């Protein structure tokens, strides 16, 4: 098996979300609707504050890491979704 080492988590998720190749406009719009809840945003803020003070438990550190990874991936997917919609607009 010849695995590409420069494949990102976002690349893998994109193939799962739209296995046929290019992202559809409908999927792009749906991705742009995704977001954290206000409770999750507050929890992330609280965890970040505790992290700055060096007061995170190991469990909290893992949770903050999970939020950061999901947030980063969501940002990449949203960027690609915006690009898909922008390209579709130009092609119309």
User: What sign does the CA torsion over 56, 66, 33, 9 have?
Assistant: positive
**Torsion angle defined by CA atoms of residues 19, 2, 7 and 30, in that order, rounded to the nearest 10 degrees:** 10
What pLDDT is stored for residue 79 in this prediction? 92
What pLDDT is stored for residue 42 in this prediction? 98
What pLDDT is stored for residue 91 in this prediction? 66
pLDDT in tens, the chain (92 residues): 556 678 887 778 778 877 777 888 998 999 999 999 999 999 999 999 999 999 999 999 999 999 999 999 899 889 989 999 998 777 66
What pLDDT is stored for residue 74 in this prediction? 92
What pLDDT is stored for residue 2 in this prediction? 59
């Amino acid at each position: 098996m010849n695995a590409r080492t420069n494949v990102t988590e976002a690349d893998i998720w994109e193939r799962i979300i739209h296995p046929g190749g290019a992202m559809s406009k409908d999927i792009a719009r749906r991705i742009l609707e995704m977001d954290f809840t206000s409770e999750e945003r507050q929890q992330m803020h609280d965890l970040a504050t505790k992290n700055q003070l060096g007061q995170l438990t190991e469990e909290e550190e893992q949770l903050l890491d999970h939020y950061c990874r999901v947030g980063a991936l969501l940002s990449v997917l949203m960027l690609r979704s915006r690009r898909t919609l922008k390209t579709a607009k130009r092609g119309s």
